[in-house]
Amino acid sequence: LSAKGFMLGDEAHVRIFKREHLLELWMAHQGGAFRLVKSYAICTYSGGLGPKLAEGDRQAPEGFYRVAYKQLNPNSRHHLAFNLGFPNAFDRELGRTGSFLMVHGGCSSIGCYAVGDAQVDEIYAVVEAALAKGQPEVDVSIFPFRLTDAALTAEAGSSWLPFWENLKQGSDLFESTGTPPRVAACKGTYVFNDDALGPGCTPITGWV
């Protein structure tokens, strides 16, 4: 971290791309823009492209989640883990159910993202230190694939296309500003930044 200008305790952000089997760890120092620190291969996740809908469907979630200190599990049977906080406010608006959805060590999954023990050691250490140093919650953004215009055009026949286009709005905001946007659920859709403060909208939060 020091070689890249960071230290444990700097703010953290996690992005996950299902199709690419990739987890990206981003960090920001002293309120600056987030920069990519390291990319990690996801050993496995269960299910296919598309969001998690119901307990027991063995589907790994997609969407915008936030991890607070209470979601860390240093005693996980999968070495180390942090709970994604599924279902979030958006999932609950749509009646989606599920529990114990994690990023964890090992290489098995029934709805989680498994990254292996050595890699989760690094990811967990950065997330834990950021929370311990005062970052209230770490944003975790989970996408089906890199949400380029070409990738979405190729999925034009998918029933999930409107959902993925909604996710792209948040992804594009991060890529244009270098900062995870404020996110809320509002009438079954994700809304961002100023729109997230609108009446009837519920912020996406971690466990308080």
Helix residue ranges per DSSP H, 14-160:
89-93, 117-132, 149-154
**CA angle (148, 206, 23) in 5-degree steps:** 40
One-letter-per-residue 3-state SS of 121-161: HHHHHHHHHHHHCCCCCEEEEEECCCCCHHHHHHCCCCCCH
Task: Give yes or no: 186 in active site.
Answer: no
Choosing from 13, 78, 79, 104, which is the catalytic residue?
104
How far is 129 from 145, CA to CA, in rounded Å?
28
Choosing from 43, 78, 112, 186, which is the catalytic residue?
112
Residues with a known catalytic role: 104, 112
